[in-house]
Amino acid sequence: MDIMFKSTRGDRAKVTASQAIVKGIAEDGGLYVPESIPKIDFSLEDMLSFGYRELAYRVLRLVLTDYTEDELKYCINSAYDSKFDTSAIAPVAMAGNDNFLELFHGRTIAFKDMALSILPYLLKTAAKKNGVDEEIVILTATSGDTGKAALEGFAGVEGTQIIVFFPEDGVSAVQKAQMVTQTGKNTCVVGIKGNFDDAQTAVKKIFTDNELKAELKKRGYVFSSANSINIGRLAPQIVYYFYAYAQLVNSEKIKAGDKVNFTVPTGNFGDILAGYYAREMGLPVNKLICASNDNKVLYDFFKTGEYTIKDREFIVTVSPSMDILISSNLERLLYHESHSEEKTKAMMTSLGADGSYKFVIDDGFAGEYATVAETFEAIRYTFDKTHYVMDTHTAVAKASYDKYIAETGDKTPNVIVSTASPYKFAKDVLKAIDSEKYADIEPFEALYELEKVSGTPIPEPIKGIEKREILHKTVIERGELKKFVENKLR
């Protein structure tokens, strides 16, 4: 039986998985959710012998039910191949007493690769299945990680084009170098004289500009989104929760059936929501520990039952991919936990109008957060004790987990979800390890220094990046995005 998808906000139209992936977001502004969450039809023991691709197929076929076996296998095999620097794709590393699920072995060395390696194939297949003949144009505003992962995912994919807008002065040196050196005829990268919000707001406006959409449709183009509001980005992330569990059983840290916790460094709530789906599907998960940085809107929500952005300043931290106040995917959790489109819609309306809403999540989640100082501390003491080097986002999770243990004494085995390679944030990682020595280190010099300090080689994707040819030089005013898109798509 097909699993159908519907909006979190009450729009009654039901769509198939592939239609939800093409549309990205529901007509009423809600997010697509599965009408019912399927249960796994394989045993935890069977799972132990599956490789990543086999497991991905066994999980995704239950969620994306209107894709045929051939279609899904084509998407999975195209995505999870030698682009990843380990055949394990998502290995669990052990350091001291901690288990780190490393999701950074793809082409852009951050966890967005897990979903954005497969999304282009899911989308292209969906377009074909649903008779969409137009060229698909992916518009993305990025604060750094999503843009590059989407560029790599869509580069060279026939029938698609990708345009990425980034704040000219708002991304790290490595992130900018990764984007402006992107190859591929169908890629386009544009700097904005403005901040991330300017870019994001302008892109959202284009998505709802019906006149522009109609004109571009005449010219043979349709827009789509590579953000985590797209269910096609969320579903592939469920897989690695099962995969991590199987690795713990195989290394005899737990027995099949034992419960585990996952601690997840969270921004837009996409990653941790995939963990929630995994638990609902039958993975024995005790707590999902939601780790925030100084922008601790989610921590306060889990502690108090009130989500509020009122009187909250946006704080720039050393974990930029988690600097976020409106956590889009939480809407999906609210829907599943309230069992009500009306209530979900009312909460979202309240967030828009008053900047807050109330809802108590009973069980199954814990919220923690770490300040910048605590994040640096976690990098340093873990390095000192185990020689394991983690990035600033992963360190937010590690510090949060240690606080959680101090508060609860919970003995459940835990997995820390590791979302980026330390090389992506090398300068801050070095500063955490030795603040005096590395106070003024240059961003690219930091890569070579980290190689010496950590003893692990610079990942291939960013080796020599400072010497690569800059292929994208366009910079526009923040009011010019629409004009740019209109002119580009002639």
Q: Under the rule (CB under 6 A), what is the footprint of ligand PLP? A: 110-112, 145, 228, 265-271, 321-322, 393, 419-420
Q: Which is nearer to ligand PLP, 24 or 44 (CB)?
A: 24
In which order are the strands placed within the sheet that holds 98-102? 92-95, 98-102, 414-418, 260-265, 285-292, 365-369
Q: Could you tell me if 131 and 85 are in contact, meaning their C-beta atoms sit under 8 angstroms apart?
A: no
CB of 100 to ligand PLP, least distance (A): 13
Closest to ligand PLP by CB, 62 vs 273, is: 273
- Length of the chain in residues, anyone? 490
Give the DSSP letter string of 329-369: THHHHHHHHHT-HHHHHHHHHHHHHHSEEE----SSEEEEE
Q: Is 50 helix (H, G, I), strand (E, B) or coil?
A: coil
Q: Whose Cβ is closer to ligand PLP: residue 189's or residue 273's?
A: 273
Nearer to ligand PLP, 139 or 273 (CB): 273
Closest CA relative to residue 219, chosen from 490, 484, 482, 487:
490
- Smallest distance, Å, CB 111 to ligand PLP? 6
Shortest CB 322 distance to ligand PLP, Å: 5
Q: Give the shortest CB-186-to-ligand PLP separation in angstroms.
A: 23
The residue among 160 and 419 lying less far from ligand PLP, judged by its C-beta, is 419
In this complex, which beta carbon is closest to ligand PLP, that of residue 332 or of residue 431? 332
Which among 312, 264, 271, 316 is positioned nearest to 292, based on CA atoms? Answer: 264
Closer residue to ligand PLP (CB): 283 or 416: 416
Closest of 283, 136, 157, 156 to residue 223, by C-alpha: 136
Q: Which one, of 39, 43, 37, 71, lies nearest residue 57 by Cα?
A: 71
Nearest CB to ligand PLP, comparing residues 228 and 454: 228
Please report how close the Cβ of residue 344 comes to ligand PLP at its closest, in angstroms. Answer: 19
Edge-to-edge strands of the sheet including 135-141? 221-224, 135-141, 160-167, 187-193, 475-477
Q: How far apart are CA 312 and CA 306, in angstroms?
A: 13
Distance, in Å, from the CA atom of 381 to the CA atom of 384, rounded to the nearest integer, reads 5
Question: Could you tell me which residues are beta bridge partners of residue 141?
Answer: 165
Report the candidate in 410, 415, 317, 420 with the shortest Cα–Cα distance to residue 369.
317
The least CB distance from residue 302 to ligand PLP, in Å, is: 14
Tell the residue number behind the tokens 């309306």, with chain if given. Answer: 349
Q: Which residue has the tokens 């990035």?
A: 391
Shortest distance (Å) from residue 267 CB to ligand PLP: 4
**Nearer residue to ligand PLP within complex by CB, 335 or 425:** 425
Q: How far is the CB of 341 from ligand PLP (least distance, A)?
A: 23
Q: What is the largest CA-CA distance in the chain?
A: 61
Give me the least distance between CB of 271 and ligand PLP, in Å please: 4
Tell me whether residue 376 or residue 484 sits nearer to ligand PLP (CB atom).
Answer: 376
- Min. distance of Cβ 207 from ligand PLP in angstroms? 19
Cβ count near 305 (within 10 Å) = 13
Helix, strand, coil percentages (3-state) for the chain, rounded to 5, are 45, 15, 40
